[in-house]
């Protein structure tokens, strides 16, 4: 089974889509797909579908959605070109004590591959292998085709999971940009960072990276303007001042010539992730 959640939901068995179009079964499949090869408790599925006030028929209705998913899986299993052994829809969408499990049978799962590549990229960063880190983190980020589960109606469980995934994406992006800065690619990063800081108005790391890239490109006044825009956004939206690390970076830019590299940025002085 091949599963994509880093964008639109796509679940395929033997290359055949088993992704329903009806919203509720789609939610069930999305939550199972996110936790492929792990048991998802019935309670979590019910909360996802109906929140804190499920109907009395919730368990029965959930079983109906599971049967609908198994009907789609069954049609795909029957068309197995390999004809490997007796495999049924119940072997794919498994009933377990207290919940259900989607058995990927060693298939591809984009979120699992993302986590593997990102983890390897972080270790390369820690080892000072900035070319390797940039390459690995770029490969991880390339797996994203949009916001996670962008075409699925999200209840409490999926909303929590998609927020968590967005944080992991931002962390990988932050580290990939850091690696590129270490490699002297500051001019190439200016366009990307300019877009990112408009999207994440209070994200300190991204603004610090833009300030550093602008400063290294000889655009000192624009780097200081980027700091001021961030400060205004932090005060207005969160009632906060920029972190000590970012203030040090601002002072470094104020005191340095355009060709200098601010020490505060190189030391990772302001590694706070305030996201707006």
| Mean pLDDT across 143-155 | 95
Does residue 194 contact residue 260 with C-beta atoms inside 8 Å? no
pLDDT category at 56 given cuts 50, 70, 90 is very high
Q: Of 53, 81, 102, which residue constitutes the final position of a domain?
A: 102
Average pLDDT over the chain, rounded to whole? 90
Q: Give the end of a domain, one of 102, 137, 172.
A: 102
Residue 110 contacts residue 9 (beta carbons within 8 Å):
no
* 219 or 83, higher pLDDT: 219
**Residue 259 binned pLDDT confidence (cut-offs 50, 70, 90):** very low
Rg (CA), the chain: 23
Examine residue 10 and state whether it is found in any structural domain, yes or no: yes
* Count of structural domains within the chain: 2
- Give the C-alpha distances (Å, rounded to integers) separating 184 from 153, 181, 214, 220, 272: 42, 5, 12, 17, 23
CATH number for the domain that contains residue 202: 1.25.40.10
Asked if residue 28 is part of any domain, the answer here is yes
Sign of torsion, CA 20 162 197 276?
positive
Ranges 23-27, 79-83, 117-121: which has the least confidence: 79-83
pLDDT at 87 (0 to 100)? 79
**Residue 262 in this model has a pLDDT that exceeds 50:** no
The reported pTM is 0.85
């Amino acid at each position: 089974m091949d599963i994509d959640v880093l964008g639109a939901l796509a679940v395929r068995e033997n290359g055949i889509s088993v992704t329903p179009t009806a919203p509720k079964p789609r939610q069930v499949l999305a939550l199972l797909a996110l936790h492929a090869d792990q048991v998802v408790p019935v309670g979590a599925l019910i909360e996802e579908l109906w929140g804190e006030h499920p109907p009395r028929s919730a368990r029965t209705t959930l079983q109906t959605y599971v049967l609908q998913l198994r009907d789609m899986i069954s049609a795909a299993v029957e068309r197995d070109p390999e004809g490997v052994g007796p495999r049924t829809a119940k072997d794919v969408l498994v009933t377990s004590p207290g919940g259900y499990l989607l058995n990927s049978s060693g298939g591809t799962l984009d979120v699992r591959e993302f986590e593997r590549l990102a983890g390897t990229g972080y270790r390369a960063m820690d080892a000072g292998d900035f070319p390797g880190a940039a390459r690995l983190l770029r490969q991880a980020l390339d797996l994203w085709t949009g916001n996670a589960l962008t075409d699925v109606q999200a209840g409490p469980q999926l909303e929590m999971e998609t927020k968590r995934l967005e944080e992991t994406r931002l962390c990988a992006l932050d580290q990939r940009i850091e690696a590129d800065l270490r490699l002297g690619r500051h001019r190439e990063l200016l366009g990307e960072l300019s877009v990112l800081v408009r999207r994440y108005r209070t994200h300190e790391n991204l603004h610090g990276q833009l300030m550093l890239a602008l400063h290294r490109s000889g655009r000192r006044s624009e780097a200081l303007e980027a700091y001021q825009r961030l400060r205004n956004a932090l005060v207005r939206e969160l009632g906060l001042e920029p972190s000590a690390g970012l203030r040090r970076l601002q002072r470094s830019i104020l005191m340095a010539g355009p060709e200098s590299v601010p020490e505060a940025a190189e030391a990772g002085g302001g590694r706070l992730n305030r996201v707006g």
